Structure 1
Amino acid sequence: MGNGSGEQISVHCKSQKDDLGTHILRPKESIQWRFPPSKFLYTPFNCNVTWGQHSVSFDAYDFWRDSGSNTNRCMQCVWSVSKDSIVGEGLWPYPDLIIKWPKN
Structure 2
Amino acid sequence: MAACGGSMAAAMAAMLIISTSICVSSGKKITVQITNLIRYDNAMVIDCRSSDDDLGQQTLLYGQSMEWRFNPNFSKTTLYYCNAMWEAKQIHFHAYEYMRDNYGCGLDCRWLFTVDGLYAYNSKNESWDFRFSCLV
Shared fold (TM-score greater than 0.5)?
A: yes
**Superposition TM-score tier, normalisation by shorter sequence:** 0.7 to 0.9
Q: Which amino acid in 2 is paired with 1:75?
A: L
Q: What stretches of structure 2 of length at least 5 have no aligned partner?
A: 1-33
The alpha carbon displacement at 1:37 in A equals 2.4
2:92 alignment partner, one of 44, 53, 57 = 57
Q: Specify the structure having the higher radius of gyration (Cα).
A: 2
The alpha carbon displacement at 1:98 in A equals 1.1
1:73 alignment partner, one of 101, 105, 121 = 105
The alpha carbon displacement at 1:16 in A equals 1.2
Aligned residues: 100
Give the aligned partner of residue 30 of structure 1.
65
Q: What stretches of structure 1 of length at least 5 have no aligned partner?
A: none
- Deviation readout 1:49-87 (Å, 9 max, x if unpaired): 1121010101110001111xxx24332100011111111
Secondary structure class of the residue paired with 1:64: helix
Q: Which amino acid in 2 is paired with 1:100?
A: S
Instruction: Name which of structure 1's ranges 47-56 and 37-46 shifts more when overlaid on structure 2.
Output: 37-46
Against the structure 1 CA distance between its residues 52 and 74, is the aligned structure 2 distance closer, same or farther, given a 3 Å change threshold?
farther
The alpha carbon displacement at 1:93 in A equals 4.4
Against the structure 1 CA distance between its residues 27 and 87, is the aligned structure 2 distance closer, same or farther, given a 3 Å change threshold?
same
**Mapped partners of 1:99, 1:46: distance in 2:** 15
Q: Which amino acid in 2 is paired with 1:3?
A: N
Please state if 1:92 is matched with 2:116.
no
Higher strand share: 2
Q: TM-score, normalised by structure 2?
A: 0.66
The alpha carbon displacement at 1:15 in A equals 0.8
**Mapped partners of 1:39, 1:65: distance in 2:** 16
Secondary structure class of the residue paired with 2:99: helix
- Over the residues paired in the alignment, what is the CA RMSD in angstroms? 1.9
**Mapped partners of 1:76, 1:4: distance in 2:** 19
